Amino acid sequence: MSLLKKSAVELVSLLRDGELTSADLTRAYLNQIEEHEGTIQAFLHVDREAALQQAEDLDRRRAAGENMGPLGGLPVAVKDLLCTRGVTTTCASRMLENFRPPYDATVIARLKAAGAVLIGRTNLDEFAMGGSCENSAFQTTRNPWDPERIPGGSSGGAAACVAAAMAPLSVGSDTGGSIRQPAALCGVTGLKPTYGRVSRYGLVAFASSLDQIGPLAATAEDVALLLEVLAGHDPLDSTSIDAPVPRYIETVRQPLEGLRVGLVTDHLAEQLDPDVEAAVREAVRVYESLGANVEEVSLPHSRYGIATYYVIAPSEASSNLARYDGAHYGYRTDESALQAELAAERAAAQSEQEEARLDTPLVRMYRKTRSEGFGAEVKRRIMLGTYALSSGYYDAYYLKALKVRRLIVEDYRAAFQKADVLLGPVTPSPAMPLGHFKDDPLGMYLTDLFTVGANLAGIAGISLPCGQSREGLPIGLHLQAPPLEEERLLRAAHMFQTATDWHRRRPDFVASED
Amino acid sequence: MSELPYKIVIGLEVHVQLATQSKLFCRCSTQFGAPPNTQTCPVCSGMPGALPVLNREAYRMAVRAALALNCEIPEFTKWDRKQYYYPDLPKGYQISQFDLPMSQHGHLAISDPKNRFEPKRVGIIRAHLEEDAGKSMHDEQAGTADSRIDLNRCGTPLLEIVSEPEMYSPEEAKAYLTELKLLLTYLEVSDCNMQEGSLRVDANVNLHIPDPDAADGPPIATPIVEVKNMNSFRAVERALHYEADRQWEVWQESHQRLGDVPKQTRGWDENAEITRGQRSKEESSDYRYFPDPDLVPVVMSAKETAEIRNQLGELPAALRKRLEETYGIKPYDSDVLVNQGRALVDYYIELAEQCGDGKLASNWVQQDVLRLLNEREISIDDYAVRPSAFAELLAKVQDGKLDTSRGREVLAEMIEAGLSVADAMEKLGIAEVDDSELVELCQSLIAANPKIVADIQAGNLKAAGALIGQAKKQNPNVNPSRVRELCIELSSEAS
């Protein structure tokens, strides 16, 4: 079997045992990227030399008998919104096209310390806003199962690169489903940890109260391996939880006795693709066959999730993205063109009053910089959020949304009285064709229906492959667990993966390689 | 002063930089005067992905100030983002406190030693913590060069103290500021240096004019004007005087009342001694406040608050009272001493205790010590004469061995040459004059000045002054009051 088909857990053990060098492994992945990136376009940036350099350094350290860390030379792909010192971090935006952070995000520091080889920076919807990667300012990542379809998003590159065997492990971020939805659409396993489980320090913020970094990989075991590296308290993030990190990798293989699975009936209602529904119902039977008790549960306020999310997330985004104003770093509009424009307007002014109403050069710089630097979806959300926070509207939108958010939290609390994990679909349908939501942003927003709840409530959720549509597209199963119960989620997911092989299925071009 | 046809109403917003070592939400130094942009990090320079973490020490310091201002401290407060665009605000928002400030409902007592107004309490609406912005340095010739931004100050903790509009004269406003500065200095929460921008004042001013149509009704309020750019307390006082006159003139012409026009902002022009209208924004600013999701709410237990309260120490108002009661000095004198700061008061107390005469000590400290400190721009810690030596000197004055002017000469020697009282007196040739020697001297003077003697005999005792002058010429060490005594005695004996 080719190296690229092995799980991360297997590869780490080969590396540790000296049967494989990090350089050879890294080279194999780099070759795979080179071969298929033209089609998939999962990466915004791959520095072959730098990756090999890191791998060789790690190999040297291993040869010298040093501790390699839990990842021991394993390549890891990183979503291009995690600040990495000296490495361009674009957030798939023109605004940050040439931005090189002066510091490492906490997760980047942890990855480096854990012996990861940072193999490349994956594509995303601009500033993580979107569910298809079509909002990237630079390229559209393709679904490895069908290049005419979306990989999902916003961590589309992160999911696609795992599905295409371009990286064994991948780090994404999830604000409303941005890890779980692309994981589902690309047939990989992706986990959104509890809010605060992984430090957000250095994650370029989209919506601060919802953003959470998490791992993507082929299997629950591999996800466990990476989560253990990412998770942990960080004094640099005030919202980070100060709780010990369980040894996920040691417990993931232990089945859960008497597991109570709650089937979220609200998520099996109308507009669900029949293939998705069938796959989810089949997953229920799998759990029953594994000895779990399945009971129906309801999240009655779940249907307000999208409305709530699309007030809170854009509100925070409108504030978080205010800093991209051209004054300090990042894109700035052409200054001589700006001056010429203003001079022409002054000359054309019919009266002093009219001239006085013209922008100052500073205001015009802000306007032009932000108009030119941001894409349409980002601007749409900035406008939504600016409106929702405006004086006179705050109570009706933002404050109301916070109240509904509270109700959603209560829904989950009640549901977890009856169930250890909640089960449902990740997405209403398998991957849509490219351009499907081009003129329908609201339709795009609605695909987050099943995932936003976990972000609003701050709980953990995982997406794992549970079937295929009649067109052969992956379908994702969504499990959710109470705060800090990642271990439970991983064990439940692993149980499922011992009984099924959906997580081993690969797109043809990967499966046919040897 | 003639009665004004209006009442001026003033509320003050004071921003004070807290004297913490590091910034409010990162570890950068707050030291003033470092080269531009050398005290910055990803957090305070607003880099993508960077997150704030509260400096708990700054919070405790703010609580200390708020408690001294008699404010209530809630157990729970939070942080809000105040959003606006300006190049010295790199995140596009300032972390501040909106609807749940860390303290509110306090007051500050003020009085005027010159009695221009009755002692009163000025209400404090709230005091809240926020981060400072950076500094923009604009080229003088606009448009010819880029503005430059220094972010060193960005993120420095600021306490914003908002008073009720309860000051009714510029003198009251100045007294409020003086007392506030003194209080914060005593608390050691701020150096309150206006030149370095660690204390900044904005004033909201309008007039209340008796309603001619309803003599018993509420007065007419004129539009509120916010006055900025005042760089000293003196400037505040002058700007407020100017602004009251200006608003009265505007009222007589326009009769605009509060609410008729948007709130105006005016800047004080120190050189022209006028306020000037600042460019008003066309639409009213909307800061879109919302809770900062990057920070957790602050919980301050009643126990922790009580601990801070217990460590406040003696504050200026209490100290003044103590000086008056313990050392018998007048409110005016205790005010002068206390306003010099705790170190000088400590010096005074030690001196007063050792010489046993609080008034004498107060006079010497105010007239001699303070004059020298001001002349040399030094602090009491650098004053050469310690209280024990000073007390020795005052003892000589008290028992008449030195008169005040000779005492000053001795003090000068003690300071300049670092001498003890005895050595300084010796160097100046001051020796005690034997009484018999003094009698002899006085007799010779009586004999030589029959006219003066006649005056004295006629009851004009002041005439003895001329004899004292002559006596001092012959022997500078004589005790003038003893000379006077003897001369009067001997004159009455002379025939």
- Torsions phi, psi of A425, nearest 5? -80, 155
Note whether A233 and A92 are same-domain residues.
yes
| A59 touches A23 (CB < 8 A) | yes
CA A85 from centre of chain = 21
- Which chain A residue has its CA at the smallest distance from B26's CA? A236
Tell me if residue A403 is catalytic: no
Nearest-Cα distance to chain B for A326, in Å, is 9
Which domain does A359 fall in, by range? Answer: 325-373
Q: Report if residue A304 sits inside a domain.
A: no
Helix and strand element counts for chain A (H, E): 19, 11
Domain end, chosen from A373, A388, A405, is at A373
Token representation of residue B153 = 């100050």
Q: Which of A79, A126, A323 to mutate to test the interface with B (most CBs of B within 10 A)?
A: A323
Residues of B with a Cβ under 8 Å from any A Cβ are: 42, 45-54, 81, 83, 85, 87, 90-93, 143, 149, 282, 286, 288-290, 293-296
- The answer to whether A258 touches A271, Cβ cutoff 8 Å, is no
Tell me: do B98 and B184 sit in the same domain: yes
Query: Dihedral, CA atoms, B187, B193, B199, B204, nearest 10 degrees?
Result: 120
Active site residue A178: yes
In a domain, B317, yes or no: yes
Q: Which of A85, A87, A175, A236 to mutate to test the interface with B (most CBs of B within 10 A)?
A: A236
Give domain status of residue B447, yes or no.
yes
| Alpha-carbon distance A14 to nearest alpha carbon in chain B (angstroms) | 35
| Identity of the residue in B46, B83, B295 whose CB atom sits nearest the CB atom of A238 | B295
CA distance B260 to B240: 22
DSSP-assigned states of every residue in B233-302 = HHHHHHHHHHHHHHHHHHHHHH---BTTB--EEEEEETTTTEEEE----SSPP----EE-TTSPPEE--H
Does residue B108 lie within any of the structural domains?
yes
Provide, as residue numbers in chain A, all residues whose Cβ is less than 8 Å from the Cβ of B92: 319, 321-323, 325
Q: Check B149 against A319: CB less than 8 A apart.
A: no
Sign of CA dihedral A41, A43, A48, A54: negative
The kind and range of the H/E element at B355 are helix B342-355
Query: CA of B85 to nearest chain A CA: how many angstroms apart?
Result: 8
- Taking a C-beta distance cutoff of 8 angstroms, is the pair B93, B82 a contact? yes
A93, A234: one domain: yes
Q: Decide the pairing of beta strands B157-163 and B120-131.
A: antiparallel
**In contact, A240 and B296? CB cutoff 8 Å:** no
Residues A26, A107: one domain?
Answer: yes
Rounded CA separation A135/A125 (Å):
4
* C-alpha closest to that of B150 among B162, B165, B132: B132
A224: tokens are 């466990």
Residue B141 is predicted with a pLDDT of 56
Domain hosting residue B341, numbered range: 310-427
Q: Distance between alpha carbon A482 and the CA centroid of its chain, in Å?
A: 20
Residue of chain B with shortest Cα separation from A385: B288
Catalytic residue among A79, A112, A192, A368: A79
Across the interface, whether the CB atoms of B296 and A91 are under 8 A apart is answered no
Cα–Cα dist B83/B450, whole Å: 90
**In terms of Cα–Cα distance, which of A27, A164, A137 is closest to A81?**
A137
The β-bridge partners of A203 are: A82
Q: Which of A7, A22, A178, A315 is catalytic?
A: A178
Beta bridge partners of B226: B204, B265
Among A183, A221, A265, smallest CA distance to A492 is for A221
Catalytic residue check, A79: yes
- Same domain as B90, residue B41: yes
**φ and ψ at residue A214, rounded to 5 degrees:** -155, 170
A99 assigned to some structural domain: yes
Q: Is residue B349 part of a domain?
A: yes
For position A246, which CATH number holds?
Answer: 3.90.1300.10
Chain A positions touching B27 (Cβ under 8 A) are none
One domain, residues A117 and A38: yes
Q: Is residue A422 part of a domain?
A: no
Which residues in chain A have their CB less than 8 angstroms from residue B36's CB? none
- Both B420 and B442 in one domain: the answer is no
Structure tokens at B73: 């401290």
Domain limit, last residue, from B427, B449, B479: B427
Give the torsion through C-alpha atoms of A468, A469, A474, A480, to 10 deg.
-80
Closest-CA distance of chain B to residue A106, Å = 10
Residue B51 with chain A: CB contacts under 8 Å: 200-201, 236-239
Q: Which residue ranges in chain B fall short of pLDDT 70?
A: 1-2, 139-145, 279-284, 495
Cβ–Cβ of A101/B42 closer than 8 Å? yes
- In this complex, the residue of B42, B149, B290 whose CB is nearest that of residue A102 is B42
Residues B126 and B77 in one domain: yes
Residue of chain B nearest A83, judged by CA positions: B49
Dihedral of CA atoms A14, A15, A18, A20 in degrees, nearest 10, equals 80
Q: Return the structure tokens found at A288.
A: 């029953």
pLDDT at A323 (0 to 100): 98
CA angle B26/B30/B34 to nearest 5° reads: 125
Written as one letter, the residue type at B60 is R
Cβ separation A319–B288 shorter than 8 A: yes
Contact B51 A237 (CB under 8 A): yes
Is A327–B296 a contact, with Cβ atoms under 8 angstroms apart?
A: no
CA B267/CA B242 separation, integer angstroms: 12
Q: Are residues B279 and B193 in the same domain?
A: yes
pLDDT on residue B1 = 45
Q: Say which of A22, A93, A154, A315 is annotated catalytic.
A: A154
Q: Looking at residue A1, what is its pLDDT?
A: 46
Inter-chain CB proximity B48 and A204 less than 8 Å: yes
8 Å CB contact of B85 and A322: yes
A323 → closest Cβ in B51, B92, B286: B92
Q: Which of A373, A408, A432 represents a domain boundary (last residue)?
A: A373
Q: How far is A352 from chain B (nearest CA, A)?
A: 15
Number of domains in chain B: 3
Name the token pair of B481.
């009051």
Token pair belonging to B495? 């025939």
Residue reference for tokens 């080269």: B35
- One domain for residues A75 and A199: yes
Which residues on chain B are in Cβ contact (under 8 Å) with A327?
A: 87, 90, 149
Residue A247 lies in a domain: yes
Q: In this structure, are strands A75-79 and A169-174 parallel, antiparallel, or unpaired?
A: parallel
User: Which residues of A fall within a CB distance of 8 Å from B54?
Assistant: 238
**For residue B148, which phi and psi values (nearest 5 degrees)?**
-120, 150
- HSE on the CB side for B311, CA within 13 Å? 13
Buried b (16+ CB within 10 A) or exposed e, B186-197: bbebbbbebeee
Instruction: Indicate if B344 and B375 belong to the same structural domain.
Output: yes
Element (H, E) at B435: helix B435-448
- Please count the structural domains in chain A: 2
Report yes or no: A172 and A166 within 8 Å, Cβ to Cβ. no
Inter-chain residue contact A238 with B83, CB threshold 8 Å: no
Residue A318 within any structural domain of the chain: no
One domain, residues B251 and B321: no
User: Cis link prior to A154 (omega < 30° from 0)?
Assistant: yes
Domain contains A137: yes
Residue of B46, B92, B288 with shortest CB distance to A390: B288
Chain A, nearest residue to B94 by Cα: A319
B285 within a domain of the structure (yes/no): yes
Transcribe A261-327 into DSSP letters.
EEEEGGGGSTT--HHHHHHHHHHHHHHHHTT-EEEEE--GGGGGHHHHHHHHHHHHHHHHGGG-SSS
> Residue B51 falls within a domain, yes or no?
yes
- Give a yes or no: residue B45 inside a domain: yes
Domain check: are A242 and A346 in the same one?
no
Q: Which of B53, B93, B149 sits opposite A238 (nearest CB)?
A: B53
Is residue A282 a part of any domain in this protein? no
Domain presence at residue A140: yes
Residues of B in contact with A89 (CB under 8 A): 48
Instruction: For residues B481 and B421, state if they share a domain.
Output: no
Q: Which residues in A lie closer than 8 A to residue B295 (C-beta atoms)? A: 238-239
One domain for residues B185 and B204: yes
Q: Which strands sit side by side in the sheet containing B80-83, from one edge to the other?
A: B93-96, B80-83, B290-291
Return the closest-CA partner of residue A92 out of A51, A140, A50. A140
Radius of gyration in angstroms for the set of CA atoms belonging to chain B, rounded to a whole number: 30
Asked, for residue B2, whether it belongs to a domain, the answer is no
Distances (CA, A) of A166 to A3, A12, A42, A112, B81: 11, 16, 9, 19, 41
> What is the ipTM metric for this complex?
0.96
Q: Across the interface, do B282 and A239 touch by the CB < 8 Å criterion?
A: no
Q: Round to whole Å and give the CA distance between A36 and B297.
A: 48
Same-domain status, B102 and B166: yes
Inter-chain residue contact A325 with B46, CB threshold 8 Å:
no
Residue position matching structure tokens 């393709």: A142
* A421, A424, A430, A436: CA torsion to nearest 10: -110
Residues B346 and B207 in one domain: no
**For residue B85, which residues of chain A lie inside 8 Å, CB to CB?**
322, 325, 366
A204, A235, A391: residue with CB nearest B286: A391
**Chain-chain contact of B50 with A103 (C-beta, under 8 angstroms):** yes
B83 and B121 belong to one structural domain: yes
Task: Tell me which chain B residues have a C-beta less than 8 angstroms from the C-beta of A101.
Answer: 42, 47-49
Q: Which of A83, A389, A398 sits opposite B49 (nearest CB)?
A: A83
pLDDT per residue, tens digit, chain A (514 aa), is 489 999 999 999 999 999 999 999 999 999 999 999 999 999 999 999 999 999 999 999 999 999 889 999 999 999 999 999 999 999 999 999 999 999 999 999 999 999 999 999 999 999 999 999 999 999 999 999 999 999 999 999 999 999 999 999 999 999 999 999 999 999 999 999 999 999 999 999 999 999 999 999 999 999 999 999 999 999 999 999 999 999 999 999 999 999 999 999 998 876 899 999 999 999 999 999 999 999 999 999 999 999 999 999 999 999 999 999 999 999 999 999 999 999 999 999 999 888 888 999 999 999 999 999 999 999 999 999 999 999 889 999 999 999 999 999 999 999 999 999 999 999 999 999 999 998 898 888 988 999 999 999 999 999 999 999 999 999 999 999 999 999 999 999 999 999 999 999 999 999 887 6
In this structure, what are the phi and psi dihedrals at residue A462, rounded to the nearest 5 degrees?
A: -135, 145
A91 contacts on B by Cβ (under 8 Å): 48
